[in-house]
Amino acid sequence: MAAELQRTLDSAGSAVARAAATDLAQGVGRAALIFVATVLAALALAAPLIIAAGSDPITAYTALYEGSLGGQRPFAETLVSMTPLLFGGLAVAIAFHAGLFNIGVEGQLVAGGIAAGVVGIYVSTWAPVHVLLALLAGAAAGALWALVPAALKAWRGVHEVITTIMMNFVAFSVSQFLVKPGGALEGEIPTGTEPVQSTAELPRIWDPTRLHLGIVAALVVAGACWYFIYRTPGGYRFRLVGANPVAARFNGISSSRVIVEAMLLSGALGGLTGAVEVLGTHRRFLDSFSPGYGFDSIAVALLGALHPVGVAAASFFFGLLRAGSTQLQLEADITRDMITVISGLVVACVAARLLLSRRAARLGQGD
Amino acid sequence: MVEMLEIFDMNWVAQGIRLSVPLIFAALGGLLSERAGVINIALEGKMLFGAFAGVAVTWWTGTNVVGLIAALAVGAGIGWVHAWFSITVRADQIVSATAINLFALGVTAALIPAIWEGGRANTPGVERFRRFEVPILADLPEIGTVFSRLSWFDYGALALAPAVWLVLWRSPFGLRLRACGESPEAAASVGVNVIRTRYTAVMLAGVFAAMGGVYLSLVQNGLFQRGITNGRGFLALAAMIFGKWRPIPVLGACLLFGMADSYQLRAQSKSDLPVELFQALPYVVGLITLVFVGRAVAPAAIGRAYVKD
């Protein structure tokens, strides 16, 4: 009897597991399809603009391909660009889960880069400790930079988009001030600091390219973000406040507290974006070292549908674009501003997708 | 110290007004849109498009008036796109506005080298709109300085705030527009066409923001520069919030930011304080003012898409 019951339960259990696996496979397949369709739509929409900019899409996209996937060095450069984009994309995504739109990653990564650079230059300790200390300093500076928008949102209800972008401009000013000729952190090269000590460098992992350990760190952090968002009470609180702040309040969750927590966590990831870039790629802080990674991160998060796996895939795609942009400039004479255009188009496609899915639902109902 | 106080003269006032004008146009545009219930984070992108179109068309036609008209038309067009996304598609209003901002920043910069050979970050100079001296008033002692250093745009911007107030609070159209921002369902129940009213408001916001952009390119600089707006669209939003979505206080907030900017520009030349830090002053002032805004003054239905039954 007991054995039979156990068998029934087992078969029921495996049926549920099978159904769940099928659902998951379908969900992943659907997500992948949407991802690819969004990318293709954005690239197609960019084509007329590439013509307007005096080139043609075939030349431009061939140049992008060659500059990003056409060999060991280009591929390594793709992963080098993917690293900050993944950190930044996760920063935007985690805030989004709590209903917050952090478009201040560009400023947070500058703050994080400065802090990591300072610790890398002026603190002396053993190698792994030094790197970790510099990364922590970067994360703390990014969180600090997000504190003002967090406080204004939580206690004054001021929309974080306005405040985070204003903090960006403050960060750019501070950065210029510190590394200008005669500035406090002036190095031997213009608008840059001294190099960080070798103990603070993120080691290179693929000779002879610039690829550094940051990519591994970014993937680990992506996994941690997935665990946090979907498997911890903290992540659940974030998602509840993001989905329905009123319901969250009735469940005893203070949305002010979640807003501050989410914004600080997002800012810390934004700070890490800059810290990893400084310690791994440039080995020193440079003014305007980011070609707009913080703004691309918005498109990365939205294209990745805010899921860490999707964000990783999207950061790879934007890594391709960023790495290929040099070749795009050389062969098609198109500035890297075109990458910002494609970012905008990706975000627009994500926004317009709602209409398509509504149309599809209506067609399904035979309306 | 005395030198620092000398900054506060009539030149400071005139320059302060000129620096606040792009903010005034954009902030009043944002106010119209948000009063109708559509969040307008896209002001920055609309300003960029306006500034760019104004210079491009002036360069092609050689007439800055044609450039101005074209810029306003482009502003209305971008406003329509924004309205389509936020009202018809009912996309997240922040996301669609971010798309416009990113697209505008990229496309206006990417087209500079395509249209003007050799130019990388700047367009060549075009004919600017000139300032003029107001008869009689310009001859007054002290205050005459102000009346000789402004253009039609400056007087227009100052007059626009009371005009917007008049339309919003003293006309049937304004009442309908505000009703769409507070409770679109109630407005619809008394026969207001919510969709059309919101489209009108968002397109007008596009025209206003484009005007702010044109001011930067065709009045202040006489050229277009990559990212010429430099966050002014967001500063305008801060002014709009600080002014609690009311035209006259919003005008005051824009003037405050403009005067702060004017102060930092003049302080730079008169002292050896760090230029870079002073450049951040308007943003710091903007952030500080937001601390003093009370909660919950935004239109009630802001950011909420309206679904027709």
| Minimal Cβ distance to B102: which of A148, A165, A340 | A340
Residues of A in contact with B30 (CB under 8 A): none
The pair of structure tokens assigned to B57 is 């068309």
Contacting residues for A259 by C-beta, under 8 A, at least 6 apart: A98, A100, A150, A153, A154, A241
Where does the pLDDT of residue A366 fall: very low under 50, low under 70, confident under 90, or very high at 90 and above? very low
Residues of A in contact with B39 (CB under 8 A): 159
Using one digit for the tens of pLDDT, what is the confidence trace for A93-140? 999 999 999 999 999 999 999 999 999 999 999 989 999 999 999 999
Best of A322, A347, A349 to disrupt the B interface (most B CBs within 10 Å) is A347
Cα R_g (chain B), whole angstroms: 20
Mean pLDDT taken over chain B: 90
Q: What is the pTM of this model?
A: 0.90
The count of C-alpha atoms lying within 13 angstroms of the C-alpha of B3, restricted to the half-sphere facing its C-beta, is 8
Q: Is the peptide bond before A181 cis (omega within 30 degrees of 0)?
A: no
Sign of CA dihedral B83, B88, B93, B97: negative
- Distant-in-sequence contacts of A16-23, Cβ < 8 A, 24+ apart: none
Residue B114 in this model has a pLDDT that exceeds 50: yes
Residue B3 is predicted with a pLDDT of: 62
State whether residue B136 sits within 8 Å of chain A by CB: no
Nearest CA in chain A to B89: A355
Residues of B in contact with A101 (CB under 8 A): 94-95, 98
The pair of structure tokens assigned to A99 is 């209903």
Nearest CA in chain B to A157: B295
> Do residues B240 and B6 touch, judged by C-beta distance below 8 A?
no
Residues of B in contact with A177 (CB under 8 A): 274, 276-277
Residue A367 is predicted with a pLDDT of: 41
* C-alpha to C-alpha distance for A105 and A94, rounded to whole angstroms: 12
Using one digit for the tens of pLDDT, what is the confidence trace for B70-113? 999 999 999 999 999 999 988 888 889 999 999 999 999 999 98
> Do residues A35 and A313 touch, judged by C-beta distance below 8 A?
yes
> Do residues A176 and A157 touch, judged by C-beta distance below 8 A?
no
Q: Is A212 helix (H, G, I), strand (E, B) or coil?
A: strand
How is A71-85 classified by DSSP, letter by letter? SHHHHHHHHHHHHHH
Q: In chain A, pLDDT over 70 holds for what percent of residues? A: 92
DSSP state of A200: G
Nearest CA in chain B to A49: B107
The pair of structure tokens assigned to A311 is 């964000």
* C-alpha to C-alpha distance for B261 and B277, rounded to whole angstroms: 12
| Cα-based distances in Å from B24 to A148, A216, A351, B188 | 25, 48, 29, 31
The reply to whether residue B287 touches residue A101, judged by beta carbons under 8 angstroms, is: no
Q: In chain A, pLDDT over 90 holds for what percent of residues? A: 69
* C-alpha to C-alpha distance for B228 and A359, rounded to whole angstroms: 39
End-to-end CA distance of chain A: 52
* C-alpha to C-alpha distance for A241 and A253, rounded to whole angstroms: 8
* C-alpha to C-alpha distance for B254 and B28, rounded to whole angstroms: 10
* C-alpha to C-alpha distance for A166 and B239, rounded to whole angstroms: 12
The reply to whether residue B107 touches residue A156, judged by beta carbons under 8 angstroms, is: no
Phi-psi region of B62 (alpha: psi -120 to 50; beta: other; left: phi over 0): left
Residue A318 in this model has a pLDDT that exceeds 90: yes
